[in-house]
Homo-oligomer: A and B are copies of this chain.
Amino acid sequence: MSNIRLAFPFVNGRNGVRRFTSASVKLEKSGDCQNKSVAARPFTCTFTRTMATTNSHEKRSLNYDNLNPNVKIMEYAVRGPIVIRAAQIAKELQQGVKKPFNEVISANIGDCHAMGQVPITFIRQVLSSVLYPPLLDDPKIPDDVKQRSREILKAARGSVGCYTESTGLELIRRHVAEFIEQRDGYPSDWQNILLCGGASDGIKNFLKLFLCNVDGKLPGVMIPIPQYPLYSATLAEMGITQIGYYLDESKNWALNVDELERALEEKKETCIPKCIVVINPGNPTGQVLTKQNIQEIIKFAHNHNLFILADEVYQHNIYAEGSEFFSFKKILMEMGEPYSSMELVSFMSCSKGYMGECGLRGGYAEVINMCPEVKVNYLKSVSAMLCSTVIGQACMDTIVNPPRKGEPSYELYIKERKAVLDSLNMRARMVVDAFNSFEGFSCNPVQGAMYAFPSITLPPKAIEAAKKNNQHPDVFYAFQLLERTGICIVPGSGFGQQPGTFHFRTTILPQPEKLKEMLGKFRAFHLEFVEEYK
Using CB atoms, name the residue of chain B closest to A276.
Answer: B61
Query: B residues within 8 A CB of A33?
Result: 371-374
Q: Is the CB of A482 closer than 8 A to any CB of chain B?
A: no
How close is A463's CB to chain B, nearest CB, in angstroms?
Answer: 28
Oligomeric state, in copies: 2
- Tell me the chain A residues, 352-382 only, with Cβ under 8 Å from chain B: 355-361, 368-381
Query: B residues within 8 A CB of A524?
Result: none
- Tell me the chain A residues, 124-181 only, with Cβ under 8 Å from chain B: 124-125, 127-129, 131-132, 135, 156-166
Complex: A15 Cα to B360 Cα, angstroms: 38
Complex: A200 Cα to B374 Cα, angstroms: 23
Residue-wise, chain A 94-118 has the 8 Å CB interface mask toward B (1 for contact) of 0000000000000001011110000
Q: Is the CB of A484 closer than 8 A to any CB of chain B?
A: no
B360 touches A161 (CB 8 A): yes
How close is A315's CB to chain B, nearest CB, in angstroms?
Answer: 19
Residue-wise, chain A 209-220 has the 8 Å CB interface mask toward B (1 for contact) of 111101000010
Q: Which of A198, A229, A381, A387 has the most CB of B within 10 A?
A: A381
Q: Is the CB of A450 closer than 8 A to any CB of chain B?
A: no
Q: Which of A79, A114, A211, A274 has the most CB of B within 10 A?
A: A79
Complex: A49 Cα to B341 Cα, angstroms: 12
Q: Is the CB of A63 closer than 8 A to any CB of chain B?
A: yes
A54 touches B337 (CB 8 A): yes
Q: Is the CB of A76 closer than 8 A to any CB of chain B?
A: yes
- Tell me the chain A residues, 28-71 only, with Cβ under 8 Å from chain B: 30-33, 38, 41-45, 47-52, 54-57, 59-64, 66-71
B381 touches A237 (CB 8 A): yes
A358-B56 CB under 8 A given contacts A209-B67, A383-B76: no
A233-B44 CB under 8 A given contacts A359-B156, A389-B392: no
Contacting residue for A380 out of B74, B158, B164, B371, CB 8 A? B74
Complex: A358 Cα to B161 Cα, angstroms: 5
A386 touches B358 (CB 8 A): yes
